[in-house]
Structure 1
């Protein structure tokens, strides 16, 4: 059974179709998924550039190295654990912020005739 039982057909001109196709392609979404996101009050973000994934792999590798150093330092007692943990937490937060900034859709501003709840008046 379909989750969406209502079909809506919309006619667009050539320019609108090109914009829709272009914008949807930039996000990696289908036209339908792109339109549903807009209807639900979100503007999907463009796919991250290819080097984003390489940067994320590097950051994760750094995090793994820090973790290995922490284990070694804990066994030998040659590293201040609190300072190291603080740096590891900063790295984790930075990775999360990068992922969020690049991949999460943004809430769009109110449309004319809508209240902050997104519902018509």
Structure 2
């Protein structure tokens, strides 16, 4: 069964429709999801640039390499394992911040 059973029809002039279509296209959402997001107090973010996902994959690969180096260093007893762990955690935090900065919706500053 559908969760959303209430249908609302809204009339727009051509300029408003063009603005809505343009804003929706920038987010990659459907018109319905875009409007629901606004109603719930969020301004959807634009789609990230195409190289965002490439950069994210590279950062993840670096993080995996760091973790492998840390494990090897720990098993051989040479470099400082804590230093590697701190670096790996800093990398994970940076990846998370990039994801949030680029993809998370922002709360609207003024109420509707």
The 1-side partners of 2:33 and 2:52 are apart by 23
TM-score normalised by structure 1 residue count: 0.90
* Structure 1 residue 47, shift from structure 2 partner: 0.6
Mark the runs of 5 or more structure 2 residues left unpaired by the alignment. Answer: none
Superposed CA RMSD in Å reads 0.9
What corresponds to 2:25 in structure 1? 25
1:2 is paired with a residue whose SS is coil
What corresponds to 1:117 in structure 2? none
Q: Deviations over 1:37-78 (max 9, x none)?
A: 001100000010001011001100000100110111011111
Following TM superposition, the consecutive aligned residue runs of length 4 or more in structure 1 with deviations greater than 4 angstroms are none
The 2-side partners of 1:37 and 1:21 are apart by 15
What corresponds to 1:105 in structure 2? 105
What corresponds to 1:46 in structure 2? 46
What corresponds to 2:64 in structure 1? 64
The 1-side partners of 2:110 and 2:17 are apart by 24
The 2-side partners of 1:43 and 1:69 are apart by 41
2:4 is paired with a residue whose SS is coil
The 2-side partners of 1:104 and 1:57 are apart by 18
* Structure 1 residue 89, shift from structure 2 partner: 0.6
The 2-side partners of 1:108 and 1:25 are apart by 19
* Structure 1 residue 110, shift from structure 2 partner: 2.6
What corresponds to 2:90 in structure 1? 90
Higher relative contact order (CA 8 A, sep 6+): 2
